[in-house]
């Protein structure tokens, strides 16, 4: 087990990290998910990639993207903040799809498993640990004594990164998109790295190609001269970027212009407490872009953040009519609904209509507690038992949790309850 520690630790920490961020640091924004999936669909189509990929956005100022097992692609809010245009963002997504296309995660497991036959457990553990801990001084000593193993491992991993880079550039060629903005994004990444002390010497220990090598990869493989650059897609991206910068309290960075800057200013004014100015600006945009439904969602969010919950509801309802799968709005409406305002015959309908939120947001305490409140009103004993068990799931061993859920499923005749339990057993 020790000899493949680095990769399983990477998998473990990736999953642990993802688990930890899933509620506290994950960003839920339906518009952005639609946009990212549109870019992803373009990448998958031209490369004939068939598998489903689930994108998650995390709150992190560092521009970053990575894949974890089960075809999950994680991108940071910083990548949206700092990507010069939609093409550079698409290129990063394509790079990560390349890792999935070429089974790089699986190959890294295979490569480390081969070390089990070398009987060099101690040296491998030192190398693995130092890479994971980002301690090049330890790594240097390990290289001196076991250069053959380390060079094999690093060259293999760096070769994967080159392969993913080439996949990304090839994708742009197929889509007839320019590569200039990727160089601009690489420049931003390079400046960030240098500001943190990751100079070229340090980069030699990285599994990623050195920046100047990556510029060369772009230069050598960009051949298209006629481009299909989409101004409408760029406009979508600029509105999303303005929203992210505004809601995450970032400086305007001088990159937003015209209507996108008005959007940013509207959100920033709201965040600073100036509701009047915020509404004036968002109302102006709504008038200018009557078909841009997500502006109404933002207006609802602004009103809700200032305590105008009832007023926000009418804007959320309009968005839901256009995007009935916007579960984040359903989540807000569910939590904001005052049960005292429901008629007796509405309580059960409200309960059943929102059951899908239990699957969309598993173990969410706010949702569970709201459901307990309704279940008590409706005297749904087995549902209350389920919710109480879920509320304690972080304190119960997995085997015990499954046993408790299975026992409820055996006792009840409620098909909807059985279905929810089945979904929880799969988690």
In a domain, 74, yes or no: yes
CA-wise closest residue to 256 among 245, 266, 267? 245
Q: What percent of the chain has pLDDT over 70?
A: 76
Shared domain for 296 and 346, answered yes or no, is no
Give the whole-angstrom CA distance, residue 116 versus residue 3. 6
Together in a domain, 175 and 319: no
Q: pTM of the full predicted structure?
A: 0.80
Within a domain: 418: yes
Classify residue 278 by burial, with Cβ atoms within 10 Å: 0-12, 13-18, 19+. buried
Mean pLDDT of all residues in 364-385? 96
Q: CA-CA distances (angstroms) from residue 153 to 7, 134, 181?
A: 11, 15, 31
Both 294 and 386 in a single domain?
no
pLDDT score of 418 more than 90: yes
**What is the per-residue pLDDT for 227?**
83
Residue ending a domain, choose from 169, 201, 221: 221
Question: Is the domain of 316 the same as that of 355?
Answer: no
Report residue 7's pLDDT band, with 50, 70 and 90 as the boundaries: very low
Question: How far is 368 from 362, CA to CA, in rounded Å?
Answer: 9
The per-residue pLDDT for 128 is 40
Taking each helix axis from N to C terminus, what angle separates 86-101 and 180-195, rounded to the nearest 10 degrees?
Answer: 80
Cα–Cα dist 96/89, whole Å: 11
Q: Which of 5-9, 119-123, 161-165 has the lowest mean pLDDT?
A: 5-9
Mean pLDDT score, 94-108: 85
Helix axes 5-24, 121-133, angle to 10 degrees: 30
In a domain, 47, yes or no: yes
- Contact at 8 Å (CB) between 97 and 75? no
Tens digit of pLDDT for each residue in 210-245?
Answer: 556 776 767 777 777 678 899 999 999 999 999 999
Residue 241 lies in a domain: no
d(CA 106, CA 383): 41
Kindly state the average pLDDT of the residues 328-341: 94
* 194 and 85 within one domain: yes
Higher pLDDT: 227 or 119? It is: 227
Count Cα neighbours of 182 within 13 Å in the Cβ-side half-sphere. 26
Residues 6+ apart with CB under 8 A from 59: 21, 25, 26, 27, 76, 77, 248
Q: What is the pLDDT at residue 324? A: 95
235 domain residue, yes or no: no
Give the pLDDT confidence score for residue 113 in this predicted structure. 55
Residues 110, 161, single domain; the answer is yes
The answer to the question of residue 265 being in a domain is yes
Q: Is the dihedral of CA 229, 235, 239, 240 positive or negative?
A: negative
* Of the residues 221, 245, 280, the one at which a domain ends: 221
Q: How many domains does the chain have?
A: 3
Rounded average pLDDT over 137-151: 42
Average pLDDT over residues 36-56: 97
Confidence bin at 82 (pLDDT 50/70/90): very high
Instruction: For residue range 171-189, list pLDDT tens digits in order.
Output: 999 999 998 898 889 888 8
Is pLDDT of 411 > 70?
yes
Domain shared by 356 and 307, yes or no: no
246-285: per-residue pLDDT in tens? 998 777 656 788 999 999 999 999 999 999 999 999 999 9
Q: Are residues 311 and 372 in the same domain?
A: no
Give the confidence band of 85 by pLDDT, cuts at 50, 70, 90.
Answer: very high
Residue 79 in this model has a pLDDT that exceeds 60: yes
- How confident is the model at residue 189, as a pLDDT? 82
Same domain, yes or no, for 395 and 282?
Answer: no
Provide the token pair at 296: 């109404």
Residue closest to 60 by CA, chosen among 34, 79, 85, 37: 79
pLDDT of 20 > 80? The answer is: no
Is 169 within 8 Å of 222 (Cβ atoms)?
Answer: yes
Residue partners of 128: CB distance under 8 A and separation at least 6: 5, 6, 9
40 domain-assigned: yes
Do 72 and 123 lie in a common domain?
yes
Give the CATH number, domain containing residue 302: 1.25.40.10
205 and 90 fall within a common domain: yes
For residue 162, give its domain range: 2-221
The reply to whether 358 falls in a domain is yes
Residues 92 and 65 in one domain: yes
Q: Half-sphere exposure of 356 toward its Cβ, with a 13 Å CA cutoff?
A: 10
Among 273, 298, 324, identify where a domain stops: 324
Q: Kindly report, residue by residue over 277-324, the tens digit of the pLDDT.
A: 999 999 999 999 999 999 999 999 999 999 999 999 999 999 999 999
């Amino acid at each position: 087990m020790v000899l493949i520690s680095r990769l399983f630790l990477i998998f473990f920490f990736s999953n642990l990290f993802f688990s930890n961020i899933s509620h506290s640091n994950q960003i839920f924004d339906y518009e952005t998910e639609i946009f990212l999936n549109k870019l992803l669909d373009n990448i998958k189509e031209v490369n004939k990639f068939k598998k489903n990929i689930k994108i998650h956005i995390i709150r992190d100022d560092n521009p970053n993207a990575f894949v974890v097992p089960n075809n999950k692609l994680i991108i940071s809010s910083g990548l949206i903040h700092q990507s010069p245009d939609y093409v550079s963002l698409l290129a990063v997504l394509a790079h990560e799809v390349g890792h999935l296309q070429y089974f790089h995660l699986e190959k890294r497991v295979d490569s480390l498993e081969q070390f089990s036959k070398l009987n060099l457990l101690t040296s491998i553990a030192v190398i693995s640990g130092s890479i994971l801990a980002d301690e090049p001084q330890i790594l240097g000593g390990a290289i001196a004594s076991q250069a053959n193993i380390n060079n094999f491992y690093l060259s293999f991993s760096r070769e994967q990164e080159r392969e993913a880079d080439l996949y990304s550039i090839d994708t742009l060629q197929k889509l007839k998109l320019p590569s200039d903005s990727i160089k601009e994004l690489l420049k931003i990444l390079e400046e960030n790295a240098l500001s943190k002390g990751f100079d070229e010497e340090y980069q030699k220990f990285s599994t990623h190609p050195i920046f100047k090598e990556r510029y060369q990869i772009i230069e050598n493989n960009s051949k298209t001269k006629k481009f299909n650059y989409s101004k409408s897609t760029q406009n979508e991206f600029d509105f999303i970027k303005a929203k992210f910068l505004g809601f995450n309290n970032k400086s305007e960075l001088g990159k937003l212009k015209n209507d996108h800057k008005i959007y940013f200013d509207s959100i920033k004014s709201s965040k600073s407490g100036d509701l009047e100015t915020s509404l004036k600006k968002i109302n102006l945009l709504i008038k200018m872009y009557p078909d841009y439904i997500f502006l109404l969602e933002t207006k609802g969010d602004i009103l809700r953040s200032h305590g105008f919950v009832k007023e926000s509801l009418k804007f959320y309802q309009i968005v839901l009519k256009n995007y009935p799968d916007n579960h984040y709005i359903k989540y807000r409406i569910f939590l904001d609904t005052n049960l005292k305002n429901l008629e007796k015959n509405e309580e059960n309908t409200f309960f059943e209509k929102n059951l899908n939120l239990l699957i969309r947001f598993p173990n969410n305490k706010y949702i569970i507690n709201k459901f307990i409140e309704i279940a008590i009103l409706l005297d749904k004993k087995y549902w209350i038992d389920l919710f109480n068990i879920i509320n304690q799931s972080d304190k119960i061993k997995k085997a015990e949790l499954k046993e408790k859920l299975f026992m409820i499923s055996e006792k009840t005749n409620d098909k909807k309850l059985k279905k929810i339990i089945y979904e929880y057993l799969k988690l």
